[in-house]
Structure 1
Amino acid sequence: MTALVQVKNVSRLFGSMRALDHVSLDIAPESYTVLLGPSGSGKTTLLSILGGFLEPSEGQVLIEGEDCTSMPPAKRPTTTVFQDYALFPHMTVGNNVGFGLRMRGLARPERDRRARDVLALVGLAEAFDKKPHQLSGGQRQRVALARALVVEPSVLLLDEPLGALDLKLRRQMQDELKAIQKRVGTAFVHVTHDQEEAMALADHCVVMNHGRIEDEGPAERVYSRPGSRFSATFMGESTIFPGRVTSSREIETPFGTWRLNTDAATGADVALALRPEHVAIGDGPLALGRAKVGDVVFQGSFKRVTAAPERAAQIDLLARLPADAAVRAGDVVEFACDPRHVLVLTR
């Protein structure tokens, strides 16, 4: 499939600081792409370059095959939804949504019709004549989304649009955003630092760090088989510990010598990662040994447990145990894991 958006070897410098470092990325039509990373990773800079608010210091951006590298925002087939929504407080919701159509010279009856249609799409048909201050935070977010969609962009850019919402409303809006994207078929590119939000929304997850792409692919693959140590720790939690590949193709670890699948060369130093849901109490194919439980946090459907293994007390072992697990701080228990779920990371 031909990419809708092609980012080719893009860098961006702010003085001596390199915010983006030779980034290349393809975005497919009708996809939901999430740019995920910590503050300073370059994700917002990349979104700003896609929207035309910044020009790259080097590289090229193509949208629908057209070179948009130096094209201003108003000329691009993109629109942006900002975190603060940027609604005009003195305008009605209908006029806010129709503002972009007004700038394009559409007559009042046509822009009102289209504004009503897209407000119905986002579940706010009754809000046409209201002012933004009469709406909740989630409703204002949907108005901003409607204003962006009404001009029928090829790519919709979302800059941490759910960051100002409370947890319950944020999860509700995640479901609504995904459903709306599927209905309209527009490619969405969404910036967030929230891993759970990324996994809930993304068809294509792009993990960024220090201005580079660390990992990308379907969210399930990035989580279950991360491409780097950073990706394993940022996209969800992991227990990370060192290993060395032996001449017999086994891996020496602080917990013993394990036989695991790896392409790493003999003598190579690797990092091993264990997701907390793959750590269990009791016997298992791979014994982690006895560990003293340091903390138990009840989180509704599970307990998040940290423990210090006797074989490697410097390692914080993380486990996600059933909510009814009989374990308390100070207990010394046996832990184990399954070799199928041990991640071998070579970078």
Structure 2
Amino acid sequence: MDFYNLLKQIDKNKENLVITIISGENTGSKVILSDGEILYKGGNENDWDEIIKYTPENKKSQALTINDKKVYFEFLRQSYKLIVCGAGHISMAVIKMCKLLDLPVTVIDDRLTFTNNALAAGADEVICQPFEQALDGIKGDSGTFFVIVTRGHRYDQECLEKIIHKENAYIGMIGSRLRVKKVLDSLEEKGIPREKLDKVYTPIGLKIGAETPAEIAVSIMAEIIEVKNKKAGFGAYSNELINYILNEENDIPKALVTIVSRKGSSPRDVGTKMIVSKDGTMKGTIGGGCVEADIRQTALSCLDNRECRLVKVDMTGQEAEDDGMVCGGIIEIFVEPVI
């Protein structure tokens, strides 16, 4: 269980990667890397330095064939956080929704009364400084969502000019189309490439006809959830899954099932996981239907034989259609006993 204990404790603010040999010699061997440093080695594989050289530059989870082995590179999700510029009525509603979503939120405003209101509403951190000064102290990363909802377009522009150069998962800015155009045109005149500015979500939020501050906050958070969940190809070792595996009161042997590759349409994406226990119960889903039922039996067999197995599921043919597999893609699923 050392592997799962380490995953539970790993610093999610770092770039974390799990590499697993899924076929060939030493199938089931694993390493965990955190910002390039090896934290864990499991199994009999000795040539990890060579395998690590093939780490995908696009940082998307995927299976690659390396010499006589098939290797699954799984990039783990970083922790997410929200940075809100402005502490008005919309921000108060955004803060409350972040609490429901267990999403840490920092609020920036240069007015003490407003930052105090944000703290009272549940913000994890407030920064009462001029926007530019506060943003100088925020690094940003691939898990940072920036929301610009200040009290005027001058402040919006100040914030966006600072944020646009930071690594981020999302930048959203409030404003009418005319106000937004003025801000973007002004920043383009200052030398910021238009293609970079075009990546800003503005006017912010999904188009649901929102009018009140609460409704606008709903549209903003819905858009953020959509963007977050579309960050395809990231591993799904959720805290819930890890805690389920480590639960000492539930010591029934278990197998972990992971979708490691996908071509065409399939119910779930690469990295999706499910646990099958020796008593036949399942935790999570890889899409349901006949595929899941068949993989359940495979997992039980793997537990009986104490072996890992890579399974290819073809949902493109007539037989698959007759079995109700309507997606029409091909997926590979890796099944491994939890050790």
- What TM-score, normalized to structure 2? 0.31
- What TM-score, normalized to structure 1? 0.31
Report the structure, 1 or 2, having the larger helix content: 2
Report the structure, 1 or 2, having the larger strand content: 1
